[in-house]
A and B are shown apart, each in its own frame.
Chain A
Amino acid sequence: MAQAAAHAEGPHQPPIRLFLVVWGWLFVLSTCSYLVDYFHLQGYLRYSLILLFMVLKAGLIIAVFMHMAWERLALVYAILVPVGAVLVFIAIMMLESDYTLLTRMLFFGPEP
């Protein structure tokens, strides 16, 4: 029984209401990102809105649904900091692919 009581407390459990609110927000944000495409927004407005809604959705899922907001900071940093390496990789590959495009246009493009 003592163990059952200890388990029932378990890790911090947010109220069900919070999950429903986050669920609703995820629906709203998904609708918004769909509307970005529906209304044919273009250029930097389109890209920044897509990224904004994406980051908000990802943040809500990680923080609330995956309980990251209530984890000990050591675990949070151990998981989130290495993801920074992905951003570095993206930057490197953007430079690389721009260079590839340049060489393709120079050597395979139409004669000037």
Chain B
Amino acid sequence: MAESALTDPGATLRQPTGWQGIAADFSSDQRAFKNVSWGKAMMWIFLLSDTFVFSCFLISYMTTRISTTVPWPNPSEVFALTIGGVTLPLILIAIMTFVLISSSGTMAMAVTFGYRRDRKKAALLMLATAAFGATFVGMQAFEWTKLIHEGVRPWANPWGAAQFGSNFFMITGFHGTHVTIGVIFLLITARKVWRGDFDRETRGFFTSRKGNYEAVEIMGLYWHFVDLVWVFIFAFFYLW
């Protein structure tokens, strides 16, 4: 009983909202995030730190692109593909964007079905999310292979400013790593949902705390963040 009281504290108390709520939450000399479990709060704080990491990459990209005297390669042409005799600009990147957005959609629904304790649907939607994620990484591997064959290196490329290559590999590589880690964790969480670990409140092997369906929501937060970062990479690196 004590534990369930800890994981859901203050839910029954009447709490002020708005600005007064913020002041009350932070000044209460207790935990600041009243109705948020430690797991979710820590995931949000991790995502904030990850935001800074990706911001640093994108800002260094901006700095090198502004300060170079050599013309920047045109991403629209660099990432064009010829399909059936028609050359389409950026088409692979556009497809990757749609794949990642679709994975976010299935993930959002998995969270809801998890809370409804519909574990078959939740697990299947998470597996679909993982499949979309793996597809995305596969397309990225294809894109890297194509560019490396065309002579793009972190120190040089055939079209212009040398910094293009280093920025490209660093930013998309770091993002692809995030997607890969996400796919692995999605598979682990989907397996737990499928087995019914969260219905039986099986203790986790690492934290030894009782499992519940919030794990799916926390997993979802990470996955949506990966999609969110891609929105910014797509806008700044590929479209700008």
User: Is B239's CB within 8 Å of the partner chain A?
Assistant: yes
User: Is B69's CB within 8 Å of the partner chain A?
Assistant: yes
Q: Most chain-B Cβ atoms within 10 A of its Cβ — which of A10, A13, A33? A: A10
* 18 further interface pairs, Cβ-Cβ under 8 Å (given A16-B109, A74-B34): A8-B115, A8-B116, A8-B117, A20-B105, A22-B105, A23-B104, A27-B101, A30-B97, A38-B90, A57-B231, A65-B107, A72-B21, A73-B17, A79-B44, A79-B45, A86-B52, A97-B62, A104-B69
List 8 A-B residue pairs with CB atoms under 8 Å apart, sorted by A's residue number: A8-B115, A16-B112, A23-B105, A47-B240, A65-B227, A75-B41, A97-B62, A100-B67
- The answer to whether B69 and A38 touch across the interface, beta carbons within 8 angstroms, is no
A→B interface (CB under 8 Å): 3-4, 6-8, 10-11, 13-14, 16, 19-20, 22-23, 26-27, 30, 33-34, 36-38, 40, 47, 50-51, 53-54, 57-58, 61-62, 64-67, 71-75, 77-79, 82-83, 86, 89-90, 93-94, 96-98, 100-101, 104-105, 108-109
- Which of the residues A65, A67, A74, A90 comes within 8 Å of B33, measured between beta carbons? A74
Given contacts A58-B232, A74-B34, contact A33 B239 (CB under 8 A): yes
User: Is B18's CB within 8 Å of the partner chain A?
Assistant: yes
**Complex interface: chain A residues within 8 A of B98 (CB):** 27, 30
A17 to chain B, nearest CB (A): 10
- Which of the residues B47, B67, B89, B232 comes within 8 Å of A101, measured between beta carbons? B67
- The answer to whether B104 and A61 touch across the interface, beta carbons within 8 angstroms, is yes
A108 to chain B, nearest CB (A): 7
Give the complex CA separation of A19 and B142 in angstroms: 31
User: Is B171's CB within 8 Å of the partner chain A?
Assistant: no
**Complex interface: chain B residues within 8 A of A83 (CB):** 48, 51
- Which of the residues B36, B90, B102, B214 comes within 8 Å of A75, measured between beta carbons? B36
- The answer to whether A37 and B89 touch across the interface, beta carbons within 8 angstroms, is yes
**Complex interface: chain B residues within 8 A of A109 (CB):** 69
**Complex interface: chain A residues within 8 A of B36 (CB):** 71-72, 75
Given contacts A14-B112, A72-B36, contact A61 B51 (CB under 8 A): no
